[in-house]
Copies of this chain bind each other. A is one copy, B any other.
Amino acid sequence: MSLLVVGSVAFDAIKTPYGKTDKILGGAATYFSLAASFFTHVRVVAVVGDDFTEKEKHVFHARGIDTSGIVHQRGKSFFWSGEYGDNVNDAKSLDTQLGVFANFNPQIPAKFKDTEYLFLANIDPRLQLNVRRQLNGAKFVAGDTMNYWINGSRPQLEEMLKAVDALLINDTEAKMLAGDTSLARAASKILKMGPKALVIKHGEYGATVFFGHNAFGIGRHPFRAPTLPLEAVVDPTGAGDTFAGGFMGYIASRGELTRDVFKRAMFYGGVMGSFTVEAFGTERLQKLTRKEIDERYNVFRELTHIE
């Protein structure tokens, strides 16, 4: 089924204890679409500048991703430079230049109006809501957000939450959004704000999906997927967006919202994220094969499976 992502296609310069990069391809929509492309056909809506060349476009095309929704504007693409210390959960931003992204006002091309699965990557909730309204026929809509919008655009974010089926955020964001220090209580509160499903990502501890009352008719029991204990997290950039790509890509590939589909989607999210952090930027995703994904899925399953 058709899966569309709206978000940043950008450039990053990253430093981690394992090394550093010059300006390399990044952005939430990039990680998302590369990950999702292993499961279904993916469409990207984004804005880029003059620095986004045929070389970058090829990264998407090599994975069969439809880039006709990527608008080119005069100027520079969004650029972020950051440094990770030993604790991979804390990135120190060294530089952020919005570039053409500052005026991003996503318009969904007419030929994308039949989109069934939609992911609203982390952008201004006003834009997320605007996109959501352009795709009223979508069957399943998920979104991401961050502390900046939770603190600074609360009313708009609350509107957005009423318009999505699922929200994917991390522990810190969930506690901040709910104003609660207990993750389970925070989940209950957020589910009352609108989304039927809430995926909370725990970094190296995996992720849990919580379901609202009567959501999808599949019961309220939460489900937790692990991550692989990795000795070397070379670059954590994009891990969350990659998780979302695996999660949404798998769901779109199945076309039905059963409990089993959600469970496997959580596992595929973790599997895809575990690859991304093995190398800088999108390097690992670009080289990945479906066979490797299936093999690691089995490793993840063995990690928690009891008869």
Contact = CB atoms under 8 A, between A and B. Distances in A.
Nearest to A221: B302
B86 A181 contact: yes
A225 interface: yes
A303 B223 contact: yes
Interface stretch (A6-14, A21-29, A105-113, A229-237): A229-237
Contacts of A214: none
Nearest to A17: B181
A202 interface: yes
B301 A260 contact: no
Interface of A: 86-87, 181-185, 187-188, 202, 204-206, 208, 210, 221-226, 229-233, 260, 263-264, 267, 299, 301-307
B307 A304 contact: no
Copy total for this chain:
2
A86 B204 CA distance: 22
A184 B230 CA distance: 6
24 contacts: A86-B181, A87-B181, A182-B230, A182-B233, A183-B229, A184-B229, A187-B229, A205-B205, A205-B206, A210-B229, A221-B299, A221-B302, A222-B303, A223-B302, A223-B303, A223-B304, A224-B229, A224-B303, A224-B304, A260-B307, A263-B305, A263-B306, A304-B304, A304-B305
Nearest to A304: B304
Contacts of A222: 229, 303
A268 to B, nearest CB: 11
A262 to B, nearest CB: 10
Nearest to A306: B263
A64 to B, nearest CB: 27
Contacts of A87: 181
Nearest to A267: B306
Given A302-B221, A306-B267, A229 B208 contact: yes
A182 B231 contact: yes
Contact of A305 (B202, B231, B306): B306
Contacts of A307: 260
A225 B304 contact: yes
B306 A231 contact: no
The 6 closest A-B pairs by CB, nearest first: A205-B205, A184-B229, A86-B181, A304-B304, A184-B231, A185-B231
A233 B210 CA distance: 18
Contacts of A205: 202, 205-206
Contacts of A267: 306
A258 to B, nearest CB: 12
Nearest to A229: B184
A250 to B, nearest CB: 12
A245 to B, nearest CB: 19
Nearest to A85: B181
A304 B264 CA distance: 10
